[in-house]
Amino acid sequence: MHARPLPYLALLVLLTACGGDPLHPTANPPHTADSLGIRIVTYDHTPTATAAFRLAAQPRYRHGASPGDYAFQEVSAGRLMPDGSAVVYDPWIAELVAFDPDGASYRVLASEGEGPGEVNYVSAILPVGRDSLLVADPGLARATLFVGDSVAHITPLPRGTRLDVEGIGPSGELLLATVGGEWGFEGEWLGGHAARFDMESGILDTVATYDFWPRVPPGLESNPIGAVGKVTVATGHLVLTRSDRPEITWRLSDGTATQIVRWVADATLLTEEWLEPIEAEHRTAVRMHSPDLSDSRIAEVTRIGMSVYRASLGRPMPLFSNPFADAEGRIWLPSYKPGGESHDVPPYAVIAPDGEWLGTVEAPPGFRILDAAGGLVLGVEQDEMDVVSVVVYELVELSLSR
């Protein structure tokens, strides 16, 4: 099992990394320039047009709420495979679950444990071929290559680095980024690192640095609306964002910057209106977990819980939440919403690999997108009864005049 040659993974990556996105001309085209070999794409506004594609009115399938369905507690990661099947991970149950392309049946690909083919905590699911995927498990410090339902290879990951796998580079190397650090740091931002890891040699190289985590503002115990720096991997490229900056930077896997997209955006300030749904959900949660509490005590507990948010009233919120990249290399930026998405899911701005702003895509209520590939969108849905389902929609192309 462990002897399968790793160049097989690089070949699978090369066979599946090609692809592109049809360009949809924008009404207000950006200014494009070259600066020392870096392509600079600049918008003098925040594009607001609707994308030339949308989610279909009805899903291809929904799994989780019907008798006989897998009983999800939570879904933290999920990817679509080239044949339209899907693989998702439930961190509460610690199982990797695979669905057929029509969603009619499922199987548990990996359960909790430390043996071959078992998982502790899955942070990334990375398709590398038609029926092959690489599963990153920082809990066990290893990456497991599954081919079909079988384990083909297990690669140890670097320990003690505070780096986690974000994607795969063009030659089959793993691309990693910072996920933690010492919080008593100097300066306004804790620095993060992007690195590439050669699975054959075991060599780990830092290729880029970025702003990872901000210092808590003076006078606050914590910052519930703080920005964050993020590294996403899009078709073998490192894509760096900082959620309080209207800017996206593309880098090669060796760290060389190739493209920067900038736009003009004004931050939205946190107001009481933004806190109303958070407070309502907080109150409901307190009542559900402590049904014997009086109304006045529930109100007091809720007030204490909301104090961290109210301490940040009037402060600017991030411009977007954690981005993700789809199989075509497009970057999806979820609009920021304090307190998480819950049942009210914000729209997604979609940017093409060449920096063109493709427009905004709306998601159905309660549906959080995990991945997009092959004309499909995979996501997780939580209904009003907190039942979690895995849902797949088709992406429908529209005829829009721009």
Rounded average pLDDT over 198-214: 97
Given a cut of 90, is residue 183 above it in pLDDT?
Answer: no
Rounded average pLDDT over 343-367: 89
Cβ–Cβ < 8 Å for 131, 81: yes
Strands 132-137 and 142-147: antiparallel
Given a cut of 90, is residue 219 above it in pLDDT?
Answer: no
Quickly state the pLDDT bin for 386 (edges 50, 70, 90): confident
Given a cut of 70, is residue 387 above it in pLDDT?
Answer: yes
Rounded average pLDDT over 90-104: 96
Rounded average pLDDT over 42-52: 93
Percentage with pLDDT > 90 across the chain:
77
pLDDT score, position 301: 92
Residue 103, Ramachandran bin (φ over 0: left; ψ between -120 and 50: alpha; else beta): left
pTM for the full predicted model: 0.89
How much is the mean pLDDT over the chain?
A: 90
pLDDT score, position 398: 85
Cβ–Cβ < 8 Å for 274, 338: yes
DSSP code at position 300? H
Given a cut of 80, is residue 307 above it in pLDDT?
Answer: yes
The per-residue pLDDT for range 111-130, each reduced to its tens digit, is 999 999 999 999 999 999 88
Quickly state the pLDDT bin for 383 (edges 50, 70, 90): confident
pLDDT score, position 16: 44
The contacts found for 192-199 with CB under 8 angstroms, 24 or more apart, are 192/229, 192/231, 193/163, 194/231, 194/238, 194/240, 194/251, 194/255, 195/161, 195/163, 196/169, 196/253, 196/254, 197/157, 197/158, 197/173, 198/173, 199/6, 199/9, 199/143, 199/155, 199/172, 199/173, 199/174
Encoded amino acid at 248, one letter: I
Given a cut of 60, is residue 2 above it in pLDDT?
Answer: no
Q: CA 361 to CA 168: how far, in whole Å?
A: 26
- Residue 60 has φ and ψ, to the nearest 5°, of -65, -40
More confidently predicted of 182 and 356: 356
Quickly state the pLDDT bin for 342 (edges 50, 70, 90): low
Q: CA 330 to CA 371: how far, in whole Å?
A: 11
3-state secondary structure of 33: strand
Cβ–Cβ < 8 Å for 176, 206: no
Rounded average pLDDT over 335-339: 88
The per-residue pLDDT for range 252-296, each reduced to its tens digit, is 999 999 999 999 999 899 999 999 988 988 898 899 899 899 999
Rounded average pLDDT over 33-47: 96
pLDDT score, position 282: 87
Residue 219 CB: number of other CB atoms within 10 A?
6
pLDDT score, position 23: 40
Q: CA 120 to CA 161: how far, in whole Å?
A: 18
Structure tokens of 102?
Answer: 């029509």
Given a cut of 90, is residue 251 above it in pLDDT?
Answer: yes
For each of the domains in the chain, give its residue range(s) and CATH number, in order of start: 7-270+312-397 (2.120.10.30)
The per-residue pLDDT for range 161-175, each reduced to its tens digit, is 999 999 999 999 999
pLDDT score, position 399: 67
Radius of gyration of the chain (CA): 22
Rounded average pLDDT over 373-401: 89
Place of tokens 């297990």: 154
Structure tokens of 196?
Answer: 């590439």
Q: CA 304 to CA 312: how far, in whole Å?
A: 14
Rounded average pLDDT over 350-372: 94
pLDDT score, position 340: 67
pLDDT score, position 29: 86
Strands 38-42 and 257-262: parallel
Distance of CA 292 to the CA centre of its chain: 38
Structure tokens of 111?
Answer: 């359960």
Given a cut of 70, is residue 368 above it in pLDDT?
Answer: yes
